[in-house]
Structure 1
Amino acid sequence: MKSAPTAQDVAALANVSQSAVSRSFTPGASVSEKTRSKVLLAAKELGYRPNAIARSLSTNQSRIIALVMSYLENQFYPLVIENLSQELQKQGYHVLLFIGQTNNFDADSILMDILQYQVDGIIMASATLSPNLAQSCAASGVPVVLFNRVSSISQSSLVSTSSVTSDNYTGGILIAKVLAERGYKKIGFISGLENSSTSIQREDGLKDGLKQYGLDVQFRSVGQYDFNQAKVATRELFSSKDHPDAIFVANDHMAIATMDVIREELHLRIPEDVGVIGFDNIPQANWQSYQLTTISQDVDKMVRATVDVLIKQIHHEIQPEHIVIPSNFIERNTLRKPTEISA
């Protein structure tokens, strides 16, 4: 049986060193285009394919990033997976995806699975970071970046943990301003998970913003970032004759469920009877049947910042950073327009 060609065979045919062969197949490595072309041509002629596993053993880098997140019912996160995967591939890394089955997924349950792959870094989106996980990753020298979350764990436990989020608090303040200036008085809020930093910050911004107008949140229910639970939460807000004239729903995924209940079960009009505003700006928010007014999270900027800070930490170029990306108001058709406010 003919043995597989080796890097030494490629080096001999291309008349270069073995290290030049290795650099030619290593993304971002320093090698001239002339040398790379000679190596790739020789490799093609010999039928050589580099062994990524062997390379990771010699360099002590797997070039694998673990991406940990909860289930993908919320359409914001499939966009995140796609963009993160593409951005990491540009940098020569590959994604190993771990998906939990609940919105409140605890990554500790798969900690050993993650670390046994010798990943170079971890990105956690919509998953819980515990002190145990933070300390284990720090001890292993594996940097962690929280995507769209911040942790309540003390900084002493977050030796290697960074975070990238939207400006959720300011987004909440902006929503309060829009609702107040458009004449809404009886404001309702449907939260996500009660321990989620995104939901907490958005609600805090809403409350603080409303105070500036002498208003407060009069109606509140919990949607848990779940479509069906958001329907239950909406029914709770309208269970008595006194109900909201506007609802801020902590994300678009739940806001669509809220709109379905208001229109199909309660037979109320949006925005004439009830205003609705969400957060995320998922593609479905722009569907003709919804046209949801919302706050947009800039996924592209968030992803680029996440990959940048993670790779810099892998190479020990920076200390952990906590980056906040501005969010933007997207006007559609689920709130009164300023011109529709009666004098």
Structure 2
Amino acid sequence: MGENRVTSVDVARAAGVSQPTVSRVFTAGARVSPELRARVEAAARKLGYRPNTLARAMIKGRSNVVGLVVAYLDNPFYAEAIELLSRALKGLGYHIIIFTASNEEDSVDLAVEDLLAHQVDGIILASVSTTLRLTQEIRGAGIPLVLFNRGQDDLSIPAVTATNYAGGRKAADLLVGLGHRRIAHISGWQKSLTGVDRMRGFLDGLAGHGLEPAACVDGRYDRETAMAATREIFGGTDRPDAVFVGNDHMAFAVMEALIHDLGLRVPADVSVVGFDDVKMAAWRMFDLTTLRQPANEMVDAVVDMLIRLIEGKSLQRTRVEIDSVLVERGTTRRRNRE
């Protein structure tokens, strides 16, 4: 089969152009006249030609491939974000390789090692347990790196997040403003700075109103853990009357446990607030009040930072926070408009 493989020379001969012209046509960003591009592409389609991107990468020293490591694909937010990332990078001539890893350090290490072996031009780390040692190792290898929806204490590492702390405070202010006083929190994973920041903002928000949480449990960004916590917190007679949940994925599980396991009404008995505003949050079966984490703006910022780093340009800032907007729906009491 290898003897019959169509090469760029074959395409050039069929199109009546030089082989370098064929290479330019299939190189993102290269300047080629519309007439030549159309002629070459027509010849390529007729012959069934596919450019050898690996060989081109070896010649150029660039692969035009970006690696993404993500652990939490159960969360609809990441499904939406991956689609946006893929579309944005493709528009700039890059492909994306996705590696999944658990939130265990060894799993993340192995995924990153695989990415480095693929000679990627840059790496995006999203929703994984990323140690400072690992990020320093990636940077030491000369590979541009951006954290997506994940922060780290080293402020020199480029990162894009929502305003997680401020979002947590907004959740507290909303629930207290609606008259709630016994408010629980099922937090995001407390080994992630994202989960910690949302919790800190929420607890500080309650403290600003002279309140402490009725309960505060690490939901670990896990559906079953969040449901078990809900049954424990709300199963007694002295139950809270509201809960702020660390993300929408857990909030859906919390609502299921409240309604179907405990027989409680949302919001008549318990108000629920999530964080992310995934598309499902607006579905009528959920109608979830939540803090919007704008995936499109976050993706734009991540792609801009990563491409600048790949091209050897400096960044104006290494930390970008996109405002978390409160979206009120049917899982919280109506405000008194009088």
TM-score norm. by structure 2 comes to: 0.91
Q: What secondary structure does 2:214 align onto?
A: strand
Q: Displacement of 1:20 after TM fit?
A: 2.9
Paired letter, 1:336:
R
* Structure 1 pair 245–119 and aligned structure 2 pair: CA distance change class (3 A): same
- In 2, Cα distance between the equivalents of 1:302 and 1:52? 29
How far off its partner does 1:110 sit? 2.6
Match of 1:204, SS state, is helix
Paired amino acid for 2:329: R
- Give the 5 Å matches for 1:39-118: 39-44=40-45, 47-102=48-103, 106-118=107-119
Count of paired positions: 336
- When structure 1 is superposed on structure 2, of 307-316 and 98-107 the one drifting more is 98-107
For 1:32-43, list aligned pairs within 5 A: 32-43=33-44
**CA 291–41 in structure 1, closer or farther in 2 if over 3 Å, else same:** closer
Give a deviation string over 1:81-128, Cα, whole Å, max 9, x none: 222112211111111111124588841133321110001111111112
Once residues 18 and 318 of structure 2 are traced to their aligned partners in structure 1, the CA distance between those partners, rounded to angstroms, is: 40
Seen in structure 2, the aligned counterparts of structure 1 residues 24 and 303 have a Cα distance that, compared at 3 Å, is same
Give a deviation string over 1:182-201, Cα, whole Å, max 9, x none.
11111111012111111111
Q: 1:338 aligns with which of 304, 316, 335?
A: 335
Q: Report if aligned partners of 1:70, 1:103 keep a CA contact under 8 Å in 2.
A: no
Amino acid of the structure 2 residue aligned with 1:245? D
Alignment of 1:283-294 (within 5 A): 283-294=279-290
Q: What is the percent sequence identity of the aligned residues?
A: 42
Q: Residues of 1 paired with 2:135 and 2:195: CA distance?
A: 22
Q: List alignment gaps of at least 5 residues for structure 1.
A: none
Q: Which of residues 268, 276, 284 in structure 2 aligns to 1:280?
A: 276
1:314-337 CA deviation, whole Å, 9 max, x = no partner? 101123621111121111111111
1:38 and 1:61 map into 2 onto residues whose CA distance is 27
CA distance in 2, matches of 1:78, 1:41: 35
- Aligned residue for 2:275, secondary structure, equals strand
Partner AA of 1:84 in structure 2: L
Residue deviations 1:115-153 (CA, integer Å, cap 9, x gap): 10001111111112223322221122111111111013x
> Structure 1 length normalisation: TM-score?
0.90
Letter in 2 for 1:184: H
Residue 326 of structure 1 pairs with residue 327 of structure 2 = no
* SS of residue matched to 1:27: coil
**2 CA distance for matches of 1:181 and 1:103?**
39
Shift of 1:267: 1.7
2:38 is aligned with what amino acid? Answer: S
Show CA shifts across 1:152-191 (max 9, x none): 3x35xx5xx4111111111112112111211111111101
What do the CA deviations read for 1:255-298 (whole angstroms, capped 9, x no partner)? 11111121222222211111111001122222322211111111
Could you say if the C-alpha distance between residues 44 and 270 of structure 1 is closer, same or farther in structure 2, counting changes exceeding 3 Å?
closer
- In structure 2, relative to structure 1, the CA distance for the partners of 1:83 and 1:196 (3 Å cut) is same
The answer (yes or no) to whether the contact 1:123–1:146 under 8 Å persists in 2 is yes
Q: Which residues in structure 2 correspond to 1:185-200 (within 5 Å)?
A: 185-200=181-196
Q: How does 1:1-343 map to 2 (within 5 A)?
A: 4-11=5-12, 14=15, 16-44=17-45, 47-102=48-103, 106-152=107-153, 154-155=154-155, 161-319=157-315, 321-339=318-336
Q: Contact 2:259/2:266 (CA < 8 Å) preserved in 1?
A: yes
